[in-house]
A and B are shown apart, each in its own frame.
Chain A
């Protein structure tokens, strides 16, 4: 079946611009996660959505970062007023609600370059 998809695959933006990154989870998966992979920080958790519960935003690095999940499916990560340190690969993952609840399936990522 279809896996997690992310768009765009690459994004180059100028410092100070806003960007939106999209994630389409696996159909039926109720949990959705965003992670960031950068040279300096490695792989780090950003935000987690589970069903209709309030998201866990504890990993967001600043208030310039926000995310939403519409209809329990597609998610958008928004970075406002981008900075050079935001350059990284942004990974999305989803997992089912039961059984392999903790098994996360990752998308290919969006590589963000801030110039």
Chain B
């Protein structure tokens, strides 16, 4: 079964600083990978996704992520964080083969932005 690990439960960065949120997955084949963001009291919003092709993917709100097969990682990055980026971020994986597209989520990383 696939699994996702987000090793950082909380991260605090200063506004304007760069950000990297870590995500490692376990899956036998090439997975479909996603990053979602959840603001307080809100549902999940898709930031970006990787299915195949270029391993560096661009998303909304200035976020990007890089798929590294050798490291089983899909880290999320942003060059300059804004105060409005404070939220919880979830990495997720879906099976690329077999039936069902259910997502397996990591435990999330809570991002705090200091002004």
Chain A residues close to B by CB (< 8 Å): 4, 31, 33, 35, 42-45, 48, 50, 56, 59, 91, 93, 95, 101-109
Q: How far is the CA of A104 from the CA of B34 in the complex (A)?
A: 10
Name the residue of chain A whose CB is nearest to the CB of B101: A102
B43 adjacent to A91 (CB under 8 Å): yes
Q: How far is the CA of A104 from the CA of B108 in the complex (A)?
A: 17
A107 adjacent to B43 (CB under 8 Å): yes
A102 and B100 in contact, given A43-B90, A43-B105 (Cβ under 8 angstroms): no
Q: What are 29 A-B residue pairs whose CB atoms fall within 8 Å in the complex?
A: A31-B101, A33-B101, A33-B102, A33-B103, A42-B106, A42-B107, A42-B108, A43-B90, A43-B92, A43-B103, A45-B102, A45-B104, A48-B100, A48-B102, A56-B102, A59-B102, A93-B44, A95-B101, A102-B34, A102-B51, A103-B49, A104-B46, A104-B103, A105-B46, A106-B36, A106-B45, A107-B43, A108-B43, A109-B43
A102 and B94 in contact, given A33-B102, A43-B105, A56-B102 (Cβ under 8 angstroms): yes
Name the residue of chain A whose CB is nearest to the CB of B46: A103
A101 adjacent to B42 (CB under 8 Å): no
Q: How far is the CA of A110 from the CA of B43 in the complex (A)?
A: 10
B101 adjacent to A106 (CB under 8 Å): no
User: Which residues of chain A have C-beta atoms less than 8 A from B106's C-beta?
Assistant: 42
Q: How far is the CA of A59 from the CA of B1 in the complex (A)?
A: 13
B53 within 8 A of A: no
A106 adjacent to B44 (CB under 8 Å): yes
B108 adjacent to A106 (CB under 8 Å): no
Top 6 closest pairs, chain A to chain B, by CB? A43-B105, A106-B43, A106-B44, A45-B102, A108-B43, A56-B100
For the complex formed, measure the closest distance between the CB of B44 and the CB atoms of chain A, giving whole angstroms.
Answer: 4
User: Which residues of chain B have C-beta atoms less than 8 A from A108's C-beta?
Assistant: 41-43
B27 within 8 A of A: no
